[in-house]
Amino acid sequence: MKMSAAEEYGLRCLLQVAQHKGPEPIGIAEIAEAEGLSPEYAAKLLRLLRKGELVNSTRGAKGGYHLARPAHEISVWSAILVLDGPLIEDSHCKVHTGRLPACVHSTACSLRGLLTYISINLENVLKNLTLADLFQSEDAVRAQLEAAPEGEDQGAGGEP
Amino acid sequence: MKMSAAEEYGLRCLLQVAQHKGPEPIGIAEIAEAEGLSPEYAAKLLRLLRKGELVNSTRGAKGGYHLARPAHEISVWSAILVLDGPLIEDSHCKVHTGRLPACVHSTACSLRGLLTYISINLENVLKNLTLADLFQSEDAVRAQLEAAPEGEDQGAGGEP
DNA sequence: ATAAAACTTGACGGATTCGTACAGTTGGAT
DNA sequence: ATCCAACTGTACGAATCCGTCAAGTTTTAT
């Protein structure tokens, strides 16, 4: 139950894009410098974000990245999904023939229920937290999260 | 944000120990067979659980493992901590000289606030879920978790 | 057209995790 | 006392993830 490097640094890069002011897109060099990453690594992460349709890229001179949607419409949850995939795969308990009612493992797979719930819980919490919210300070983020524990919509969109 | 193999299989092995009936401890061979793991791998995971003081071991003939405490006093959270360590390390944002108010990263480390909150949220949810609760079916586990969303004590102990 | 800036892609060592293998130690049963 | 079941610990190859590198492609500016 750890956050992967791709998630952490990918999220940081995404925040750099979101934070960038001005009509011109932000370049990889600038993002990499701001986060202390190599330009190549930043590029790799940005590519992930682009494939996840969280950012768009402009090529050529004066090119760079910009958000695909406004910051307050991009949820932290969607970024995590793009950067690291889902917490629990559909194939977690592989069904052999297609007619297996319980998990192949002996403990009747109460673990699957646990994992599913953890995933749903996390999704509910992070779906309503947007990039715009993360601009605030550390304390403000915690306050924000605690104010809307679950299933509440506070003006953000999140997933399309 | 994935569950590691050690967490998953370690939890399964722990459940096998908890589920075992009778005064005699359960052996590695039996646990491994039940979960479809190699005896050596099961032994490795059980050793972790032993070091975390979640199980005790009896050596010699007729030896094996038994829970260190009753199943309803061992929380899923404590097992996850033992098997995979904390979600966020204290050293996550390393402080260089000891007087740095903000994270060394440029985005003022709203990420740390995010991570801290995710960790606390998960802890609150899983602290009150015990091994005994996991014996139930998948649906029952979800119902149980949804019934006690946060910060409620329902008779379990968890950490010593 | 040409050059320069910027992104794209695949491939590559190094580190960590996964699962296995094997030698060593402990302790109950005969 | 001896044997054997059972746990303990280290060491190892395989797979995956991390981060880097170099070659390639696209686009703007001159």
pLDDT in tens, chain B (160 residues): 999 999 999 998 999 899 888 888 999 999 998 888 899 999 999 999 999 999 999 888 888 999 999 999 999 999 999 999 998 877 676 544 444 344 544 455 678 778 888 888 889 889 989 999 887 766 777 777 777 655 444 433 334 4
Instruction: Please name the nucleotide lying closest to A27, CA to C1'.
Output: C6
| Contacting A residues, span 12-71, partner chain B, CB-CB under 8 Å | 12, 15-16, 19, 34-36
pLDDT at B108 (0 to 100): 55
- Looking at CATH, the fold of the domain delimited by B5-67 is given as Arc Repressor Mutant, subunit A (1.10.10)
Dihedral sign of CA atoms A51, A56, A59, A62 in order: negative
Which residues on chain A are in Cβ contact (under 8 Å) with B11? 111
Q: Taking 60 as the threshold, does the pLDDT of residue A108 lie above it? A: no
- Contact yes or no for B131/B12 (Cβ under 8 A): no
φ, ψ for residue B101 (rounded to 5)? -75, -35
Q: How far is the CA of B16 from the C1' of C20 (A)?
A: 22
Other beta carbons less than 10 A from residue A94's beta carbon:
10
Q: Work out the minimum CA distance from A4 to partner chain B, whole angstroms.
A: 6
Q: How far is the CA of A19 from the C1' of C2 (A)?
A: 36
Q: In the structure, what pLDDT confidence band is assigned to residue A102 with cuts at 50, 70 and 90?
A: very low
pLDDT at B143 (0 to 100): 78
- Tell me how far apart the alpha carbons of residues A15 and A71 are, in angstroms, rounded to a whole number: 9
Dihedral sign of CA atoms B19, B126, B1, A160 in order: positive
In this predicted model, what pLDDT tens digit does every residue of A52-101 receive, in sequence order?
A: 999 999 888 888 999 999 999 999 999 999 999 998 877 676 544 444 34
Spell out the residues 6+ positions from residue A90 whose beta carbon is closer than 8 angstroms to its own: none
Which residues on chain B are in Cβ contact (under 8 Å) with A93? none
Half-sphere exposure of A38 (CA within 13 A, CB side): 3
Spell out the residues 6+ positions from residue A5 whose beta carbon is closer than 8 angstroms to its own: none
pTM for this entry: 0.84
Which residues on chain B are in Cβ contact (under 8 Å) with A114? 76, 129, 134, 141, 145
| Tokens standing for residue B14 | 């722990």
pLDDT at B109 (0 to 100): 67
The domain ranges of chain A are 5-67
